[in-house]
Amino acid sequence: MRVLSGVQPTGELHIGNWIGAIRNWVELQNIHQTYVCVVDLHAITVPHDPKKLSENTLTTAALYIACGMNPEQCAIFIQSQISAHSELCWLLNCVTPLNWMERMIQFKEKSQKQGDNVSIGLLDYPVLMAADILLYDADLVPVGEDQKQHLELARDIAQQRINSRFGRDGKPILKVPKPLIIKEGAKIMSLTDGKKKMSKSDPNENSRITLLDTADLIKKKIKRAKTDSHIGLEFDNQERPEADNLLSIFSILSGLGREEALKECSTMGWGKFKPLLTDATVSAIEPIQSRYKELIKDRGELHRILDNGRSQAEEIAQVTLERLQAALGLLKKNKVNH
């Protein structure tokens, strides 16, 4: 089976990105052909700083490796370095109904924040994401809960708009992918509001713990994290979203699992729980940080890894692109010399 996923280089990766997505890729690379990209073309769908973008693109790739992605076992590459992503996106744009796009929850949320400055790219974001996935004939796409609707769109485009319209003799042109959303940790919430998703774009930095935060900063952020007036941590109480979120994070990062974590914390007050959560978080991300520090020293090696990932990915992407171009009736280049 083939696996594809990606993260936007829009800021420092946070523990939600790691727990909800990257952590699962690491397992998958051992059993499936795995392709992971840094989706820099998605990062420019909202206003951005060009200097920061190229730096963040490289640091995001380094973090993939620091989190355990092994360049010997998977292809790691930069989305914009393979032009087939943009080319397939155009072909898919021409068959995707506009009203499918206007329904996308993330578009509605993000466009509200942009006021009058909403780009066509922001509306088109999910089609580019569909192109990322469909180019590689991916079977599985490991993502967090918030990407479910985008995955459904990719499936609908492949099935309803391409295969059923342009496929011949019942043969599909594009593989219809499946989302892989691992329930545990699929939606890590903000530290400052248990009803809001932890997000790179939240203006309040205290709302998230990034993979590169120092131990001191993590301690401060957890100390300030929103709590309630109850004693004892618990899961699934809708009146206590912060307790559910922080206990979930603890159960995952401590490695205890839900049952054990609940046993340990069900009668504990916040004052005792928070230092425990801090220790579990610091120890879980410490190995990532030390590997990252080594990797980022050798930028030449990082570029070599990305070149190698690109050439593996490009080969597959080109074949799919040409298959769709042919199915849509675009005239093939004449390779015979005159």
Residues near ligand TYM, by CB under 6 A: 4-8, 16-17, 19-21, 39, 42, 129, 132-133, 141, 143-144, 146-147, 150, 186-188, 197-198
What is the closest distance, in whole angstroms, from the C-beta atom of residue 53 to ligand TYM in the complex? 13
Residue tagged 């329930």 (tokens):
183
Nearer to ligand TYM, 55 or 294 (CB): 55
Contact indicator for 194, 226 with CB cutoff of 8 Å: yes
Counts of helices then strands in the chain (DSSP H, E): 15, 5
Nearer to ligand TYM, 187 or 220 (CB): 187
> In angstroms, how far is the first alpha carbon of the chain from the final one?
42
Task: Show which residues are catalytic.
Answer: 110, 197, 200
Residue 315: partners with Cβ closer than 8 Å, 6 or more residues away:
none
What is the closest distance, in whole angstroms, from the C-beta atom of residue 73 to ligand TYM in the complex? 19
Contact indicator for 28, 140 with CB cutoff of 8 Å: yes
What is the closest distance, in whole angstroms, from the C-beta atom of residue 14 to ligand TYM in the complex? 7
Distance CA 232, CA 241 (A): 13
Closest CA relative to residue 194, chosen from 145, 249, 264: 249
β-strand pairing of 74-78 with 33-38: parallel
| Residue of minimal Cβ distance to ligand TYM | 20
Nearer to ligand TYM, 111 or 301 (CB): 111
Distance CA 101, CA 150 (A): 10
Nearer to ligand TYM, 83 or 267 (CB): 83
What is the closest distance, in whole angstroms, from the C-beta atom of residue 300 to ligand TYM in the complex? 26
Nearer to ligand TYM, 44 or 268 (CB): 44
What is the closest distance, in whole angstroms, from the C-beta atom of residue 101 to ligand TYM in the complex? 14
Nearer to ligand TYM, 141 or 157 (CB): 141
What is the closest distance, in whole angstroms, from the C-beta atom of residue 332 to ligand TYM in the complex? 28
For 312-318, which contacts have Cβ atoms below 8 Å and span 24 or more sequence positions?
A: 312/35, 312/75, 312/77, 313/35, 313/37, 313/75, 313/77, 313/82, 313/136, 314/82, 314/84, 316/35, 316/135, 316/136, 316/137, 317/82, 317/84, 317/85, 317/88, 317/135, 317/136, 318/84
